[in-house]
A and B are shown apart, each in its own frame.
Chain A
Amino acid sequence: MKRILALYRSSVGKKALMAATGLLLFGFIVSHMLGNLKVFQGPEKFSAYAEFLRTVGYPLFARGQLLWLARIGLIVAVIVHVVAAVELTMMARDARPTSYGRPVHLEDTYASRTMRWGGVILAGFVIYHVLHFTFGTVHPNFEPGDPYGNVIAGFQSVIVAISYIVVMGVLGLHLYHGIWSALQTLGITSSELDRPIRTAAGTIAVVIFLGFIAVPVAVWSGVLR
């Protein structure tokens, strides 16, 4: 614990924690995407999967316990990721009080420049998304226990479907810079691995983008009903 705190106090350590939590969240995103795709197997399989998430670990864990444990882990990871990002951003703001007359823009990609605002958009989206499909608070016709129906109904609105697609684009960009950056921060990259890792990060970002938007696009085009 003392070490973690000492690590947290240094800028390099904060970044390492951001990288580690980022990779953890990335792992979650991959499994979430794969879970989503089960919607294409039809209502029964999809509901069975939702049920599986609640009953997994039984009888070691009571119904829903493991799911909540995972949720708590994710919430902690998000908090560490966001708090470190905010603190580091403030540090960077302070580090250059006067800006350049001619802006200096070397090497930055669109993805790397939009990490901060992209992150803000994603954080807002996660809150909306949980209220939409988990609690149903902002879902017009939410039926508890009917995940399939909720997905179909939820994406009937064109605005909702489009905003999901746009945010998944933001997620893709965030991951493209984030995956490579996390590995660099943890000291896992080197110049020989640089290109392959960037290519892999780009491919992963595209696959995740497509995997996620497949559902709203399918609902919208009537493939899923």
Chain B
Amino acid sequence: MKLTLHVWRQQNAGAKGGFETYEARDIGPDMSFLEMLDVVNEGLIKEGKEPIAFEHDCREGICGSCGMVINGNPHGPKKAISSCQLHMRTFADGDKIWIEPWRAKAFPVRKDLVVDRSALDRIIQAGGFISVRTGSAPDANAIPIPKENADSAFDAATCIGCGACVAACPNASAMLFTAAKVAHLGALPQGQPERYERVRNMVAQMDAEGFGYCTNHGACQTACPKEISIDFIAQLNRDMMRAFFTSR
């Protein structure tokens, strides 16, 4: 396959970026999107040019680092996968592909397609600790957890912190990510003692990082490689209301 790529190149956070055009030759349909970029980069290196910087680690959809917007779709046009799981057979020979980084004030571009997602880590940190007994590990199943709660906590916990929800959101809001993190512990007995304090602090941090707010478009759940549902946003909202009106 032969493809034309329009890739966002930007030296660093302060520099002005722009799209550059490259030809991707000899691309096989079984290559992943990142492998295709590797091939292009090898070519660039041979020509003595700077390779395209993009973030990647696991290349199997679990680390959340490979975020990029492909033709106006965070993680590409396929549902429920991250960029590293996207295969080139999704595209046709001769296609033009636009590749750009997540765009949000809270995600400054480090270089080319690499953005700094530390803001998401700080939201998690703002959640603080949970009260547990230290010492030897408790027996498995010592704390009964209803299956429904366990399932819901697991669904929320599948969030890999990739930031596609922010990238997709017309308001660059981090509500889906924050909601997944809030709902994860909020569904479990271990999360109860600090439940309302946690939601307040995490939302405050989310606002402080400069993310937008939620207008309930639902673009985030479409873009999310882990199909996190906006139900969790309703849950966060519910917890927030309780945090303000029922607890101290």
- Using a Cβ–Cβ cut-off of 8 Å, how many residues does chain B contribute to the interface with A? 52
Asked whether B213 lies within 8 Å of A14 as measured between CB atoms, the reply is yes
Chain A stretch 14-71: residues in CB contact (< 8 A) with chain B = 14-16
Asked whether B171 lies within 8 Å of A104 as measured between CB atoms, the reply is no
- Using a Cβ–Cβ cut-off of 8 Å, how many residues does chain A contribute to the interface with B? 42
Asked whether A188 lies within 8 Å of B234 as measured between CB atoms, the reply is yes
The one of B74, B105, B203, B217 in contact with A95, judged by C-beta atoms closer than 8 angstroms, is B105
Measured CA separation A191–B204 after assembly (Å): 26
Chain B residues lying within 8 Å of A185, measured Cβ to Cβ, are 214, 216, 237
Asked whether B218 lies within 8 Å of A107 as measured between CB atoms, the reply is yes
- Contact indicator per residue, chain B 173-205, by CB within 8 Å of chain A (1) or not (0): 100000000000000000000000000100110
Q: Most A CB atoms within 10 A — which of B98, B172, B236, B237?
A: B237
B241 interface hit (Cβ, 8 Å) = yes
Chain A residues lying within 8 Å of B73, measured Cβ to Cβ, are 104, 106
- Contact indicator per residue, chain B 62-94, by CB within 8 Å of chain A (1) or not (0): 000000010111100000000000000000000
A6 interface hit (Cβ, 8 Å) = yes
Min CB–CB distance A221 → chain B (angstroms)? 38
The one of B74, B203, B233, B240 in contact with A104, judged by C-beta atoms closer than 8 angstroms, is B74
Measured CA separation A101–B8 after assembly (Å): 9
Asked whether B168 lies within 8 Å of A106 as measured between CB atoms, the reply is yes
The one of A3, A6, A98, A180 in contact with B216, judged by C-beta atoms closer than 8 angstroms, is A180
Chain A residues lying within 8 Å of B203, measured Cβ to Cβ, are 10-12
Closest residue to B223 on the A side, CB-wise? A106
Asked whether B234 lies within 8 Å of A187 as measured between CB atoms, the reply is yes
Interface of B, secondary structure class, is mixed
Chain A stretch 107-127: residues in CB contact (< 8 A) with chain B = 107-108, 112-113, 115
Asked whether A3 lies within 8 Å of B244 as measured between CB atoms, the reply is yes
Asked whether A100 lies within 8 Å of B72 as measured between CB atoms, the reply is yes
Chain B residues lying within 8 Å of A113, measured Cβ to Cβ, are 170
Min CB–CB distance A200 → chain B (angstroms)? 16
Given contacts A100-B100, A115-B215, are A92 and B170 in contact (CB under 8 A)?
yes
A78 interface hit (Cβ, 8 Å) = no
Closest residue to A108 on the B side, CB-wise? B217
Chain B residues lying within 8 Å of A88, measured Cβ to Cβ, are 212-213
Asked whether B213 lies within 8 Å of A15 as measured between CB atoms, the reply is yes
Chain B residues lying within 8 Å of A103, measured Cβ to Cβ, are 72
Interface residues of chain B, those whose CB is within 8 Å of chain A, are 6, 8, 19, 69, 71-74, 98, 100, 103-106, 167-168, 170-173, 200, 203-204, 206-207, 210-219, 221-223, 229-231, 233-241, 244-245
Contacts A104-B74, A190-B234 supplied; 7 other A-B pairs, CB < 8 Å: A101-B19, A101-B100, A104-B170, A106-B222, A186-B238, A187-B235, A191-B229
Sample (25) of A-B pairs whose CB atoms are under 8 Å apart:
A10-B203, A11-B203, A15-B237, A91-B171, A91-B213, A92-B172, A92-B212, A95-B173, A97-B105, A100-B72, A101-B19, A102-B100, A103-B72, A104-B167, A106-B168, A106-B218, A108-B218, A177-B216, A181-B215, A185-B216, A186-B238, A187-B234, A188-B234, A191-B229, A191-B231
